[in-house]
Structure 1
Amino acid sequence: MNTKIDALNWKILRLLQDNARVSFATIGREVGLTAPAVAERVKKMEDSGVIMGYKALVSHAVTGHQLKAIIALRAFMGKLKPFLALVGTFDEVVNCYRITGNENIVMEVVIKDQFHLERFIDKLIQYGETRTHIVLSHVINNAPIHGAPN
C-alpha cells in the first residue's frame, strides 16, 4: 500500500522518531494543529502501515554489553535457510539484513567483551565464513525518513 504523506505528516513522523512518547499536544504546538487532529493523523498513519510500531531504545553499554560489532556471513551451500530460521533466536543480534554481494547476511550485534564475541562467532562458523568489524562509534543517530521532503 502506497500512502501519500503530506508535509504536516512528515513533521509529525520526524517528531515521533525523535521521541515516540511525545504528547499529541506537544506535537500539535510544533506543527500548528490541535491534539485531536494530531491523534487522528497518527491513527491514520498507524492504520495504513506508515507507522509500523514503537520501541524502547536500550543502552547496551548500561546493560553490560560494551562492544558492538558488524558481522557479515557468507553462508555455506545449503546453510542459508537454516541460518535464517535460527538468527532470530540469538540475543546478541539487534539487526540482521539479507544482502547482495559476496556475503549473504550482515548483522549488528552487541556483546559483553571479546570472549563473548569469540563464542558468538563460534556459533556462526558452522553456517558460513564470517567477517567481523568492531564498531568504534555511532556517527549518525537517526536515519532519515525515506521519501521525506527536505
Structure 2
Amino acid sequence: MPSLPIRPGSLIPYTKLDEIDRRITGLLQANSRMSYTDISKEVGISRVGVQARVNALVENGVFERFTLLIKPEKIGLFVSAFFLIEVEPQRLHEAAERIALEPVVTELSRLTGPNQLHMHALFANMTDMDLFLQEKLYPIPGVTRVDTQLLTKRYKY
C-alpha cells in the first residue's frame, strides 16, 4: 500500500481531513495552547468553527490527546533511559501491563522482533534507576533480558 503524500512544510499526510483541518492540526502541533481565536485568524473561519472542528477531530480519534512537554531536569529527573526488554512470548502482555503501571515509565511500546518491549523512563539519579531495575523490572515474570541505554542529548522533541 503506497503511503499518503505529505503536505509541503508539514508531517501531516493528506487523508480524509480537508485543508482547514490540516492547517488547524499543524497549528496545534506547533503550539497546543494556541487559542481558537488565533487559529481562526490563521485559517480564515470563525472561532466557533475552529472549536467545532477541533471537537470533531477529538471525537473521531484524530487527536489522541493534548499534552504538556516538561523538561525533566527542571523537576529533578536527571537520568533519562531507554530499555529494550525481551520477554517470554506467553508473558509479553502481562509484563507490558505491569511495566505500564510504573510511574517512572513515560513510554512503552511493543516492537517487531522476538518479543521485545521498548521503554523510556525518567529517574532522579542512577541509584534510583538501579533500584527500579532490581526491584521492579527484573522480578517481572517472563522478563529474560534488559538492555539499557542512557540519553545524553535530545535533538528533537
With structure 2 as the length reference, what TM-score do the two structures score?
0.80
Aligned match of 1:70:
82
Aligned match of 1:55:
67
Cα shift at 1:82: 2.6
Query: Is residue 156 of structure 2 the alignment partner of residue 140 of structure 1?
Result: yes
Aligned match of 2:47:
35
Q: Find the residue that maps to 1:61 and give its secondary structure.
A: helix
Identity %: 23
Aligned match of 1:112:
124
CA distance in 1, matches of 2:89, 2:65: 36
Aligned match of 1:82:
94
Question: 1:140 and 1:19, CA in 2 relative to 1: closer, same or farther beyond 3 A?
Answer: same
* Structure with more contact order per residue of length (Cα contacts < 8 Å, sep ≥ 6): 1
CA deviations on 1:30-86 (whole Å, 9 max, x unpaired) are: 222221221121122122111222122222111111111110101136432331221
Number of paired residues? 139
Q: Is the 8 A contact 2:88 2:115 kept in 1?
A: no
Query: Is residue 21 of structure 2 the alignment partner of residue 9 of structure 1?
Result: yes
Q: Find the residue that maps to 1:74 and give its secondary structure.
A: strand
Query: Is residue 70 of structure 2 the alignment partner of residue 97 of structure 1?
Result: no
CA-atom RMSD, angstroms?
Answer: 1.7
CA distance in 1, matches of 2:25, 2:95: 34
Gapped regions of structure 1 (runs ≥ 5): 142-150
